[in-house]
Homo-oligomer: A and B are copies of this chain.
Amino acid sequence: MTETFQFKLLATDGKARRGEVSMPRGVIRTPAFMPVGTVGTVKAMYLDQVRDLGADIILGNTYHLMLRPGPERVARLGGLHELIRWPHPILTDSGGFQVMSLSGLRKLDEQGVTFKSHIDGALHHMSPERSIEIQGLLDSDIQMQLDECVALPASPKEIERAMEMSLRWAERCRVAFGDQPGKAMFGIVQGGDISHLRVRSAEALAGMNLKGYAIGGLAVGEPQEVMLDMIDTTVPHMPAGKPRYLMGVGTPDDIIKSVARGIDMFDCVMPTRSGRHGLAFTRRGRINLRNARHAEDMRPLDEESSCPAARDYSRAYLHHLIRANESLGGMLLTWNNLSYYQDLMAGIRKAIDEGRFADIMAETQENWARGDLAPL
């Protein structure tokens, strides 16, 4: 770790990059997957387990945390790291995405957003400055600008308007964040599925000389192809010396293909949320534990995994737990899934280090395509 926020590019292999984000609270080995800790907890996991699986950083949701327990309270309690017992880096989103997807959005204009809490219906206002203030109260290490994320499909005019306003908000967030050497504020490239708007957004943000850049507004319902196209379009306009973060993405396949296009950081609820619903990610692809074929299958999910959830528990037991809605089912499958995601990232990092990324990517995809063990 370092006194100041830094990014070091250690190796490249094609467009894939191996790097290190370093800051006072720790080092993030990239490409990195950040487990989502929505309300100050990675659901159904002890944070010690999350750490042991190899997570260098977790994500917190500003929207959820501002409603409960509230940023001023978190600050009085010593910050989010202290409250949740995670002394390592934390990235917080700006709250904008959840305001639009979860809350009763009441008004959005140049000043910011006014919305109704999904918990108690109370009205809240969030400006770009307030979003940064909240993230500061949480003591977040990597803070995100407030942006407006448009759901696709949308009209070019609407996409452009939101993107241009997001740029103005980025500048306001930059000013509000000020000079904090040990922390970072990232800008977010918007522009929907329109190439020239993505380029315009990326270039304008690059001009602000931020410490890192994210691509937002993807994986919001469009085909994977469109997402990959937009990454291909955008990445060349993002500074090579700064970390690149693809927000809210994705499946293991999304991730490996995005690494191949030069992305360094990812977050997604998929491993945790899917786990609670009975879906396991493995090196043989996805396995739906609800399926009757597992009911009397005493084989583990993956006998070669180093994760106890994957290696030591039978599919029959996991099937039973998921069918009976027992919390241990979600605990074990979340554990398995986060383990799989972190192992995938570790494998990707090693492959880039060794200059074998394309081979490892092909091999990994072949294993997924070959699919699960034959039923008993």
Contacts and interface: CB of A to CB of B under 8 A. Distances in A.
A375 to B, nearest CB: 15
B39 A324 contact: yes
Contacts of A41: 321, 326-328
B44 A320 contact: no
A154 B352 CA distance: 75
Interface in A8-52: 39-41, 43-46
A82 B320 CA distance: 13
A44 B327 contact: yes
Interface in A295-341: 295-296, 298, 312-314, 316-317, 320-321, 323-324, 326-328, 330-331
A73 B324 CA distance: 15
Please report whether the interface of chain A is mostly helix, strand, loop or mixed according to DSSP: loop
Nearest to A76: B296
26 contacts: A39-B320, A40-B317, A40-B324, A40-B326, A41-B328, A43-B326, A43-B327, A44-B327, A44-B328, A45-B328, A68-B324, A69-B295, A69-B320, A69-B323, A77-B298, A77-B314, A77-B316, A78-B298, A83-B314, A83-B317, A83-B320, A84-B317, A85-B313, A327-B330, A327-B331, A331-B331
Interface string A247-275: 00000000000000000000000000000
A211 to B, nearest CB: 30
Nearest to A83: B317
B84 A46 contact: no
Nearest to A67: B324
A295 B45 CA distance: 22
Interface residues of A, number: 34
Contacts of A327: 41, 43-44, 327, 330-331
Q: Which of A68, A313, A316, A323 has the most CB of B within 10 A?
A: A316
Contacts of A76: 296
Nearest to A321: B41
A60 to B, nearest CB: 13
A298 B83 CA distance: 8
A313 B45 CA distance: 14
A374 B323 CA distance: 44
Contacts of A85: 312-313, 317
B326 A39 contact: yes
Given A41-B321, A46-B331, A73-B295, 12 more contacts: A39-B324, A39-B326, A40-B321, A40-B326, A44-B328, A68-B324, A69-B295, A77-B316, A78-B298, A82-B298, A85-B317, A327-B327
Contacts of A73: 295-296
Nearest to A320: B69
Given A68-B323, A69-B295, A43 B313 contact: no
Nearest to A40: B320
A314 B76 CA distance: 14
Nearest to A38: B326
Contacts of A313: 85
Contacts of A39: 320, 324, 326
A-B pairs with the 8 shortest C-beta distances? Answer: A41-B328, A69-B320, A44-B327, A41-B326, A39-B324, A83-B317, A68-B324, A77-B316
Contacts of A314: 77, 83
A44 B321 CA distance: 11
A322 to B, nearest CB: 11
Nearest to A325: B39
